[in-house]
Structure 1
Amino acid sequence: MKDFYVNILGMRTLFDAYVTPEYTVTYLGFAQGGRNGTGFQSGADMTAEKNNLYGLIELQQFNVSDDTLLASTKRSNTFGHVGLIVPDVVKAQEYFESKDIPILKKVNVPLSEFTGVIPNAYGLGEYAGAHIEAKKRLLKAQGLIGLEMFLMIADPDGNLIEIQQQDL
Structure 2
Amino acid sequence: MSLSTAAPSSAPDETTLWQGHTSQWVHFWYYFFCVLLAIACAVGAAFTAGLSAIGLVVPLLMWVVRWWVTKCTSYELTTQRLKISSGVLNRKLDELELFRVKDYAMDQPLFLRILGLGNLTLVTSDASSPHVAIKAIPQVENVREKLRTAVQAERDRKRVRELDVDGSEGALT
> What interval of TM-score do these two structures reach, taking the shorter chain for normalisation?
under 0.3
Structure with the higher helix share, 1 or 2: 2
Max Rg structure: 2
TM norm structure 1: 0.27
State the structure with bigger RCO (CA 8 A, min sep 6), 1 or 2. 1
